[in-house]
Amino acid sequence: MATLKLKDFRKSFGKVEVIKGVDLEIGHGEFVVFVGPSGCGKSTLLRMISGLEDITSGTLEIDGRVMNDLPPKDREVAMVFQTYAIFPHMTVRENMAFGLTIARASKQEKQQKVAEAARILQMEHLLDRHPSQLSGGQRQRVAIGRAIVRNPKVFLFDEPLSNLDAALRMDMRMEIGKLHEQLDATMVYVTHDQVEAMTLADKIVVLKDGRVMQVGTPMDLYHDPGNLFVAGFLGAPSMNFLQVDVQTVEGDDAKVGNAALKPINVAHKDRLNGSGKAILGVRPQHVEAAAPGEGMLLGTVEFAERLGSETVVDMVLKDDSKFIAAFNEDKVFEPGQTVDLVFDPAQAHLFAPSDEVETVH
Amino acid sequence: MAGKLTRSNRAGWLFALPGFSLLFLFIIIPFFFAFWLSLTNQRLVSPNPTEFVGLKNYSELLRLSVLTLEPERDDAGQIVRDANGEIRYPRVRTITRSGDFPEYRGMREWFRWQSGENAKVVVASNVVFMKALTNTLTFALFIVPLQGGGALLLALLINQKLRGINAFRTIYFMPVVISIVVISLLWRFIYDGEDGLLNNILAWLTFGFFEPVDWLGKSDTALGSIIAMSAWQAVGFHMVIWLAGLQTISPTLYEAAAIEGASKWQTFRYVTWPGLRNTAILVLIVITMQAFAIFAQIDVMTNGGPLDSTQTLVFQAVERGYGRQDISGGSTISVILFVMVLMISAVQGILTRERT
């Protein structure tokens, strides 16, 4: 258990700056997930904490101690890699005890700590096997076991489930969640999978281009995204963005609309920039079909995906913009059919216009 | 059309024919021929018909015995000593040429050692062959760790992301590309006793105190000199093989080791070396086989001398087969060499096989 403090963290490879000033505090026993598109610097950030990459500028504190110049082993962290990084020539037991072997610990200590970790991970029966005799999930469990044996202050996970197939990924995800409760340890977890981020995290850190876009609990980020990027990144299918005109502003609300959208009142949260333009975000799940002629939007169906539990419909609005609606039931839509749509303005989000909307959609 | 040609079995064999017939003619047939010839008295050019002689060639090469010589005694039964106080023994030829001991006929002294007041003398039917055999084994014994270890060291040094690392890779690999004959000639100059580069460097390093040595001209330095030069020559080749092996080891394994706190040595012991297992087997076997085939260096640099101190098996096989036109004798040496290499490779295979 430990606290982590990152202050104005920066990293450059040559002239290219990949981490552009990250400030972050992680409390005792917190499960923090770094999430973002590939190339956003989330893995680099993790590797800077572990000591595998050096810190170009800024400070890293673990439990109040500055760790910048300490080698990885002295930072009391353990890391689990995407490719497992378990030693192919060693048995599971030897792999898990590797840190202790390096530290020349006694046989008895090794025995006891490995047994303890194996019990937690329910893999006592695998201890004498070689990695080649294990499945992907079991191998990753060995790597996690090796981390547990180290008894670190901070667990670092670098996309640990990305090499597993979907079903296994779900199992392991739950197991890592359970493990966190059981060990009550501080964990930092990197993923590009938002489902992992949403389900595991106490706190999500959304990164983009080496900068923190938003930090908060999963539900905070989902229900109240602070900017266009976070709004578009979390949630699947991703949020619809409508280019709207601001007609009037009254108190906390703004009246917005466009050629496709009948004017509605939405909380502006001081995000308007006075240009008279804005972007309205509507989650596909928050849209419902209305009786003909009574909708706020009129969409023409292009394509519908029936998933059984929900139906995802790609539509085109009157102003030729794309719109996706996800209905929480199995429904039949024909291409070319028009659908009247309504949504609760309280669940819509208003953002200042920016060119980012292109990259998000 | 192309499909028919590439799928036809006959076309395949037709394309393989030129290469295959060359292999057959120059490798496979001579291989079996050697076995047959080693059992005959075939000469390179001879008017006499070839006769089957059984294992006579083998016994002429391999026969060994130990003789015990008792000191010469004077009439009073006292041991006779020479001017230096050394015990005097009867000459070996009194036994090997005596009609009383036909089993030792034609054998000569290889080496001897003192056992109490007696002398034990090892006599061999072909002392030169025995020297060639021991020299070849010595050569292999030294060259394997020297070349393999040196190559691994270079590979570890070179397996870094440094500016200009490719220049080093090229430099280390250069001797491999140059013909061994050219290299042997160059090293003859380096080892020259009068004004060789090595003597000059050693003299310069010791401020002129070093006495020049005729490296190839003395029986106790000649083989060592050839070992050193041979190790240097092929080290680049094995470096490249090690390098290939090193680059198959996943970098995350090193990262995992770093996080666990492994020192440089521990990282090598637990990550690098186990990851190089298969490469090590390959390098070991290749160096061993090449070592047993050593010929060109000897032929160019020493011709087996001085005093047979650099005789080797292949050099002897060529020397006998073509130099002395004794094809059956040369074949016999080749067969013996083949059996030796086969056995050593088999033992290496057993020792290094996967334990699971």
> Are A216 and A257 members of one domain?
no
Contact between A26 and A32 under an 8 Å Cβ cutoff? The reply is yes
pLDDT score of A1: 60
Final residue in a domain of this structure, among A175, A197, A232: A232
A249-253 contacts, C-beta under 8 A, 24 or more apart:
none
What residues of B are in contact with residue A52 (Cβ under 8 Å)?
A: 255, 258-259
Three-state DSSP at A281 gives: strand
Interatomic CA distance for residues B128 and B302, integer angstroms: 15
Query: Is residue A247 located within the same domain as residue A216?
Result: no
B184 phi-psi bin (left φ>0, alpha ψ -120 to 50, beta other) = alpha
- The stretches of chain A forming alpha helices (DSSP H) are 42-50, 92-96, 98-102, 107-121, 136-149, 166-183, 194-200, 218-223, 228-233, 356-360
Closest of A211, A296, A222, A213 to residue A261, by C-alpha: A296
Q: Does residue B3 have a pLDDT over 70?
A: no
Which residue matches tokens 């400070």? A59
Q: Which of residues 5-44 of B touch A (CB under 8 A)?
A: none
> B260 — contact with chain A (CB < 8 Å)?
yes
CA–CA separation, A215 and B345 (whole Å): 63
Whole-Å CA distances, A263 to A279, A286, A296, A352, B101: 13, 18, 8, 17, 126
Determine the pLDDT at residue A32: 94
pLDDT score for A34: 94
Q: Name chain A contacts of B260, Cβ cutoff 8 Å.
A: 73, 98-99, 102, 146, 150
Question: What are residue B332's phi and psi, to 5 degrees?
Answer: -60, -45
How close is the nearest chain A Cα to the Cα of B235, in Å? 28
Same domain for A105 and A224? yes
Is there a single domain that holds both residue A208 and residue A310?
A: no
Q: What residues of chain A lie within 8 A of the CB of B258, using their CB?
A: 51-52, 71-73
- What is the total residue count of chain A? 361
* Helix, strand, or coil (residue A198): helix
**A81 close to B (CB below 8 A):** yes
B contacts of A74 (beta carbons < 8 Å)? 261
Average pLDDT for B306-332? 88
Judged by a CB distance cut-off of 8 A, whether residue B248 touches chain A is no
CB contact under 8 A, A86 and B256: yes
With CB atoms and an 8 Å threshold, state whether A89 touches B274: yes
Last residue of a domain, one of A211, A232, A253: A232
Which CATH number does B128-351 carry? Answer: 1.10.3720.10
What dihedral do alpha carbons B44, B48, B53, B59 form, nearest 10°?
A: -50
Based on the domain organization, do A186 and A255 belong to the same domain?
Answer: no
CATH code of the domain covering residue A246: 2.40.50.140
The residue written with tokens 């000649």 in the block is B222
pTM: 0.79
Residue B271 has its nearest CB partner, among A50, A77, A87, at A87
* Dihedral sign for Cα atoms in the order B98, B103, B105, B107: negative
Neighbours of B23 (CB within 10 A): 12
A284 in the same domain as A251? yes
Backbone φ and ψ for B67, nearest 5 degrees, come out as: -105, 145
The shortest CB-CB distance from A78 to any of B257, B259, B275 is to B259
Cβ-defined contact of A130 to B266 (cutoff 8 Å): no
Nearest to B259 among A73, A83, A88 (CB): A73
Say what the pLDDT of residue A360 is. Answer: 40
- Min Cα distance A259 → chain B (Å) is 54
Q: Do A73 and B260 touch (CB under 8 A)?
A: yes
Do A154 and A66 belong together in one domain? yes
Domain extent at residue A69: 4-232
Give the CATH number for residue A24. Answer: 3.40.50.300
Best interface-test mutation with A: which of B259, B268, B352 has the largest number of A CBs within 10 A? B259
Residue B281 at interface with chain A, using a CB cutoff of 8 Å: no
Q: Which amino acid is present at B74?
A: D
Q: Mean pLDDT in chain B? A: 86
Q: Which of B253, B260, B274 is opposite residue A102, by nearest beta carbon?
A: B260
* Contact residues on chain B for A131, CB-CB shorter than 8 A: none
Element (H, E) at B170: helix B165-177
Is any Cβ of chain B less than 8 angstroms from the Cβ of A73?
yes
Alpha-carbon dihedral A218, A221, A222, A223, rounded to 10 degrees: 120
The mean per-residue pLDDT over the stretch B153-167 comes to: 86
> In this predicted structure, what is the pLDDT of residue A156?
93
CB interface of A with B, residues 97-126, below 8 Å: 98-99, 101-103
Same domain, A163 and A182: yes
Which chain A residue has the Cα nearest residue B276? A89
Walk along chain A (361 residues) and give the pLDDT tens digit of each residue. Answer: 688 999 999 999 988 999 999 999 999 999 999 999 888 989 999 999 999 999 999 999 999 889 899 988 888 899 999 988 999 999 999 999 999 999 888 999 999 999 999 998 888 899 999 999 998 888 999 999 999 998 899 999 999 998 888 888 888 899 899 989 888 889 999 998 888 999 999 999 999 999 999 999 999 999 999 889 999 998 888 999 999 988 888 888 888 988 888 888 888 888 887 788 889 999 999 999 888 888 888 889 999 999 988 999 999 998 888 999 999 988 889 899 999 999 999 999 998 887 554 444 3
Same domain, yes or no, for A181 and A240?
no
Q: Are A24 and A85 in contact (CB under 8 A)?
A: no
At residue B65, the pLDDT reads 85
Residue B187's CB is within 10 A of a number of other CB atoms, namely: 25
What is the structure's pLDDT at B237? 92
Nearest to B253 among A50, A87, A130 (CB): A87
pLDDT at residue number B134: 92
Q: B252 and chain A: CB distance < 8 Å anywhere? A: yes
* pLDDT reported for residue A358: 43
**In a shared domain, residues A195 and A50:** yes
Under 8 Å CB pairs connecting chains A and B tally to 63
CA distance B91 to A223: 108
Regarding whether A202 and A69 lie in a shared domain, the answer is yes
Cα A344 to its chain centre, rounded Å, is: 26
CB contact under 8 A, B356 and A130: yes
Mean pLDDT of B249-276: 91
Final residue belonging to a domain, choices A178, A208, A232: A232
A201 and A350 fall within a common domain: no
Strands, E assignment, chain B = 64-69, 108-115, 118-124
DSSP structure class, residue A30: -
The alpha-carbon gap from B190 to the nearest alpha carbon of chain A, in Å, equals 45
Using a CB–CB cutoff of 8 Å, tell me whether B269 touches chain A.
no
DSSP string, B223-268: HHHHHHHHHHHHHHHHHHHHHHHHHTS-HHHHHHHHHHT--HHHHI
What are the boundaries of each domain within chain B?
Answer: 65-124, 128-351
Measured between CA atoms, the residue of chain B closest to residue A96 is: B260
B102-116 burial, b for 16+ CB within 10 Å, e for fewer?
A: eebeebbebebeeee
Quick: pLDDT tens for B144-158. Answer: 999 999 999 999 988
Domain total in chain A: 2
Q: What is the pLDDT of residue A60?
A: 92
